[in-house]
Amino acid sequence: MIPELVLTTLALAAVVHSAAADHRARRIDRRRMLADGAGAEATVEAISPPDADGDCRVTLRYRVGGRACRSEQQSTPAAIAALGLVPGMPIAVRHRLDRPTLAFAPALALAAHAPRPVLAPGDGIGPTLYVASFEDPDSPAPFQPKNAQGWTAGEILVDAASLKLRAVRPRLRGKPVPASRTFPLSSIQNADALGCLVTFEILVAGTPNLIRLWVADAASAADLVRRLPATRTEAFVPARAETADFHRRLLAVAPATPVTTALLVVNALAFIAAALLGAGWLVADGDRLVALGSNYTALTLGGQWWRLLTNAFLHFGAIHLAFNLVALWVNGPFAERLYGSTRYLLIYLAAALGASLATLWWYPLANSAGASGAIFGVFGATLAFFVRAPEGMPSAVAARHRNWILLFIALSFLLGMRIPFVDHAAHLGGLLTGFALGYTLARPVGARGTDPARERQHALGLAVAVAAVLAVLALGGPTTEAISATLAGGVPGVVPHPTVTSLAGIRLGETRAELDAARGAPLRDGRNTRVYDLGVPGHPALLEVTFRAAGAGAAAGDPVGAIFYRGDKAYAPAELLYVTGQAHDRFVADFGQPAWLLHANAGIVYEMYADGLTIELDQGRARAYGVQDYYRTLHD
């Protein structure tokens, strides 16, 4: 536990430091000032002497909306001399709208290059300067995919023979590190522009290195590509344009994603309602979640099949909810646009059912809840779409998205392996269900409607999902014996489940007085034990209640310490699986080694297993089962 906490702390510290470094670097992102900023007339307030690196700092003073602002710009003595700058001289600046104190003078930036270039777009004659960002300006800094060079903001100078890159590389501490590289134009190939994004490859020792950068606007991007060589390799595919067209068609046919929005809201509201009803905000109350509709094996297999769906809207605490909502928010809108809202909702709900059924068949005793199975169904459907690659899907786009979703699924499973009490059966069941339905329901890219053949396809997918659920209902679900026979190697892990603290309406810790008020007279009333009859005449169904009496006399305040059931399966309490008659070896195979063991008289053995289940064994076979809190009392 301690090593994991240390690693988590270090990881969080690294993320915070990285975000801070990115923030410092983005402060000098002049591309954003040009693209999204505004202009102002400034006055040179001061010019510092050259520092150890030979650079000067020019202090600029200006007003924005009546507010006095001041900004500093680093430059060279040669650039200052070329412009003839002196204190009190006017100069135009560009500043950010959200932070007016972040500004720069384009003329001073141009003068730092010799011979003096023009600021893009140029006229094709002489050097041209492009202010650029090497990170996606629309992506938040903490989630920004790092480029291979580690650069953030910079400038590109293109002349007749070469391309010069000037950029900064952020550091965890201190100022960003400047970087400067010059390449001959002959080493550049596969230049492409999409909006303000420019991509090209630079051959270094015969190896192509991909450069991605964003300039101020689409006109500057087109001008930069025009200035670069038109060399194209056989492997070059205008993937950017294909991807843009693909997403444009998706957005055109489905500008909004109402189902994903509704699912996010419903899951959040369901969590709030459950927490207000006692299910817990950070630490979940498993017993309360069972009462609210989680997929608790004993009750689901006992006929409460609605739990197969309701559990997908319950969560084990706020962190569990947050992980699932983020995954749905990131992946759901894309899948909804691929399939359309109706199909997407069908896939989501069917995957939730498939995940719940997989949990039932895999785990003999489980209390499962959460939207992750349905969300894995969304992953599976997205993967199926790109595997099938329906009409209108460019092969390069399909391959790219297919590889990304495969990587995302693999990482999700690997991360789940590191977290205890993860319902891997639900994830796998949801993934396979989503893939199967997604492959069946995939439609042409950007299709607004469907022809009769695809409507029949839609109906077929719905019929398959409904038939699967009806088949399970008709079959009655697997028995404990059937599950045990299927899991020859034992259970690979147990899903988090509540510690059962009650049986047939009687709870551990309940006093004699409370029991009298709730149950009335027992069948038999001993000094420390009571017996209640749950069945009908001729059908034994006895509930034996034992009190934790410290003295010789029976007191009204004595708490219930153990509850055991003996009798027919027809009248067995719903809180625990019926296990009477099973052998000791089967319990070990299903639940692992017992947590607590007591040898009583006449060969009777009591063993406590998962979720508080306690077995009374006679000659190696269960003759009664129930719950008790003696073990917890001894360890408190």
Task: Write the CB contacts of 461 (distance below 8 Å, at least 6 apart in sequence).
Answer: 343, 346, 437, 440, 441
What is the token pair recorded at 579?
A: 């296990």
Is 457 a member of any domain?
yes
Annotated catalytic residue 502: no
132: Cα separation from own chain's centroid = 32
The pLDDT of residue 493 is 35
Q: What is the mean pLDDT of residues 572-582?
A: 83
Closest CA to 112 of 84, 79, 143, 141: 79
Whether pLDDT at 19 is above 80: no
Q: Is the pLDDT of residue 581 over 90?
A: no
Structure letter (DSSP) for residue 125: S
**Helices 318-339 and 372-388, packing angle to 10 deg:** 30
Same domain, 20 and 107: yes
Shortest CA distance to 630 belongs to which of 566, 550, 551?
550
- 169 and 201 fall within a common domain: yes
What are the pLDDT digits (tens) for 380-438? 998 888 888 776 666 666 776 777 788 778 877 777 666 666 778 888 899 999 999 88
Catalytic site residue from 75, 356, 372, 484? 372
| Residue 372 a catalytic site member | yes
Condensed to tens digits (0 to 9), the pLDDT of residues 230-275 reads 898 877 766 566 666 676 777 777 778 899 999 999 999 999 999 9
* pLDDT of 4: 44
Whether 225 shows a pLDDT value over 70: the answer reads yes
Supply the pLDDT for residue 166. 87
Distance of alpha carbon 214 from alpha carbon 131, whole angstroms: 9
Residue 606 domain flag: yes
Last residue of a domain, one of 486, 515, 539: 486
Domain of residue 390, CATH code: 1.20.1540.10
Q: Which two tokens stand for residue 236?
A: 């070059």
Higher pLDDT, 367 or 141: 367
Rounded to 10 deg, the angle between the 341-362 and 258-274 helix axes is: 40
User: Given pLDDT bands bounded at 50, 70 and 90, which one contains residue 579?
Assistant: confident
Say yes or no: 113 and 142 in one domain.
yes
Same domain as 425, residue 563: no
Q: What is the number of domains present in the chain?
A: 3
| 153 vs 366, more confident | 153
Greater confidence, 263 or 551? 263
pTM: 0.51
Same domain, yes or no: 591 and 625: yes
Domain boundary among 462, 486, 510: 486
Last residue within a domain, chosen from 453, 486, 519: 486
- The string of pLDDT tens digits covering residues 310-336 is 999 999 889 889 989 998 998 898 889
From the candidates 95, 315, 320, 427, give the one annotated as an active-site residue.
427
Query: CA separation (Å) from 47 to 44, 270, 271, 504?
Result: 8, 62, 60, 85
Residue 449 confidence (pLDDT): 52
Assigned token pair, 155: 């400038």
**Span 55-97, pLDDT tens digits:** 899 999 999 988 999 999 989 899 999 899 999 999 999 998 8
Could you tell me the CA-to-CA distances from 283 to 279, 317, 324, 500 in Å, in that order?
8, 5, 16, 17
Over residues 449-478, mean pLDDT: 55
Verify that 413 and 282 share a domain, yes or no: yes
Same domain, 180 and 288: no
The token pair at 41 is: 């007339």
CB 316 within 8 A of CB 296: no
Average pLDDT over residues 352-380: 86
Task: Report d(CA 477, CA 402) in Å as an integer.
Answer: 35
> Do 461 and 523 sit in the same domain of this protein?
no
Q: What is the pLDDT of residue 168?
A: 82
Percent of the chain with pLDDT over 70: 76
pLDDT for the residue 104: 92
With respect to residue 496, please indicate whether it lies within any of the assigned structural domains: no
Question: Using 50, 70 and 90 to split pLDDT, how confident is the model at 452?
Answer: low
Domain-embedded: residue 243: no
Residue 485 has what pLDDT?
Answer: 42
CA distance 95 to 449: 47
What is the pLDDT at residue 21? Answer: 46
203 and 303, same domain (yes or no): no
For 523-534, what is each residue's pLDDT tens digit? 888 888 899 888
Say if residue 129 is in the same domain as residue 12: yes
Residues 476 and 513 grouped into a single domain: no
From 16-20, 59-63, 146-150, 544-548, the region with the lowest mean pLDDT: 16-20
Give residue 412's domain range.
258-486
In a domain, 246, yes or no: no
571 in a structural domain: yes
Tell me what the mean pLDDT of segment 335-362 comes to: 89
Q: Token digits for 245?
A: 């067209």
Residues in the chain: 636
Residue 107 sits in a domain whose CATH number is 2.30.29.30
Which residues sit opposite 608 in a β-bridge? 596, 614
10 Å CB burial of residue 383 (0-12, 13-18, 19+) is buried
* pLDDT on residue 70: 93
- Does 70 map to a domain? yes
pLDDT value at position 173? 64
Both 454 and 565 in one domain: the answer is: no
